[in-house]
Amino acid sequence: MSEPTGGPAAEAVTEPMATRRAKLSTRRKCASRAAAAGAPGAAERRAAEARPGLSKRPPGGQAQGAWTSCRRDQTASPRRRSRFEDAAGDGAAGGVTFALGLILYFTPVMSARSIVVTGTGAVTREEVLDAAKVRPGTPLLQIDTDQVADRVATIRRVASARVQRQYPSTLRITIVERIPVVVKDFPDGPHLFDRDGVDFATAPPPSSLPYIDVDNPGPTDPATKAALAVLTALRPEVAGQVGRVAAPSVASITLTLVDGRTVIWEPPTARRRRPRNWPRC
């Protein structure tokens, strides 16, 4: 026959459970108070003590392993979140950079609204702009500066060209013009040659420019190169007295001065071959 509900047996069962719940509640309240008071780590320790089946000092065996696993998980979680946040930050920065590049490349935010040309003299600004073929308003990142420089360098009077982007809205073109060193008469008029032997202009020469007498003047002709090497090696006050330079060959170069005197130039190899008692001028 069963015992009636609420008898002494029931009280014996329920009384320890009530006591245990009261103790658990007290522990949780103490942990909350410690956390509110700012005690570092007190809330975690008291909360751990208040958990059923988990004491402050875990026993050995399986419980010890469970405790260690729990602590490892707690310390590993912040690292996983940090890596995720770093990856998200890197991705956001890369996206912003890519978007900024697209804006600068395809929109006129930073475009060639002004083109500055420097170094002009005989070459005009209009000649440089016509050769450059850069449309005003073109985004600076779309302009190939090397190609523009190559196009400008095709002008006969231009020795070199340099093109630079100057943000936010300027393209600078700097040229170096060829300087005439000698002149040679042709059926269509006098041709001007620079120190490299480049025929860069057909125009009246300056009055002080010497004439050159070679069979095939040009930058690859050995006689032309030898004559120009001699002329450019002279001091300026001496070179200004030369009216004509003739080079039938590399080993035979003659300078005619403006007063009619003639100077025969000997290469260094010929000087070394002369006898010691050779008469000197």
Residue 9 reports pLDDT greater than 50: no
Distance CA 207, CA 258 (A): 11
Amino acid identity for residue 115 in this structure = I
153 in a domain, yes or no?
A: yes
211 shares its domain with 195:
yes
Average pLDDT value for residue range 128-133: 97
Of 103 and 131, the structure prediction assigns the larger pLDDT to 131
Query: pLDDT averaged over the chain?
Result: 77
Determine the pLDDT at residue 22.
66
pLDDT by residue (tens digit) across 202-244? Answer: 999 999 999 999 999 999 999 999 999 999 999 999 999 999 9
161 shares its domain with 202:
no
186 shares its domain with 171:
no
Determine the pLDDT at residue 177.
98
CATH code for position 152: 3.10.20.310
Determine the pLDDT at residue 62.
47
Dihedral class, residue 235 (left if φ above 0, else alpha if ψ from -120 to 50, else beta): beta
pLDDT by residue (tens digit) across 23-48? Answer: 666 666 666 665 555 555 555 555 55
281 in a domain, yes or no?
A: no
Residue 18 reports pLDDT greater than 80: no
238 in a domain, yes or no?
A: yes
Distance CA 75, CA 130 (A): 69
Average pLDDT value for residue range 99-109: 62
The residue from 177, 204, 223 where one domain ends is 177
Nearest to 227 by CA among 187, 205, 256: 256
159 shares its domain with 206:
no
Q: Are 107 and 140 spatial neighbours (Cβ–Cβ below 8 Å)? A: no
63 in a domain, yes or no?
A: no
Distance CA 215, CA 193 (A): 14
Determine the pLDDT at residue 279.
44
- Residue 245's domain comprises 182-273
CATH code for position 250: 3.40.50.10960
146 in a domain, yes or no?
A: yes
Distance CA 34, CA 31 (A): 5
Q: What percentage of the chain reaches a pLDDT higher than 90?
A: 52
Determine the pLDDT at residue 87.
60
Give me the half-sphere count of Cα atoms (radius 13 Å) on the Cβ side of residue 279. Answer: 1
Number of domains, the chain: 2
120 shares its domain with 186:
no
186 shares its domain with 261:
yes
The residue from 156, 177, 198 where one domain ends is 177
The residue from 127, 156, 177 where one domain ends is 177
264 shares its domain with 191:
yes
172 shares its domain with 192:
no
Q: Are 196 and 161 spatial neighbours (Cβ–Cβ below 8 Å)? A: no
**68-72, 87-91, 261-265: range with lowest mean pLDDT:** 68-72
pLDDT band (50, 70, 90) for residue 110: confident
pLDDT by residue (tens digit) across 132-190? Answer: 999 999 999 999 999 999 999 999 999 999 999 999 899 999 999 999 999 999 999 99
196 shares its domain with 165:
no
220 in a domain, yes or no?
A: yes
Determine the pLDDT at residue 212.
97
Distance CA 186, CA 194 (A): 16
pLDDT band (50, 70, 90) for residue 109: confident
Distance CA 257, CA 259 (A): 5
Distances (CA, A) of 11 to 1, 17, 22, 80, 191: 19, 10, 16, 51, 127
Determine the pLDDT at residue 268.
65
Average pLDDT value for residue range 192-199: 97
Determine the pLDDT at residue 95.
66
198 shares its domain with 226:
yes
77 in a domain, yes or no?
A: no
Of 279 and 153, the structure prediction assigns the larger pLDDT to 153
pTM: predicted TM-score of the whole model, two decimal places:
0.59
195 in a domain, yes or no?
A: yes
222 shares its domain with 201:
yes
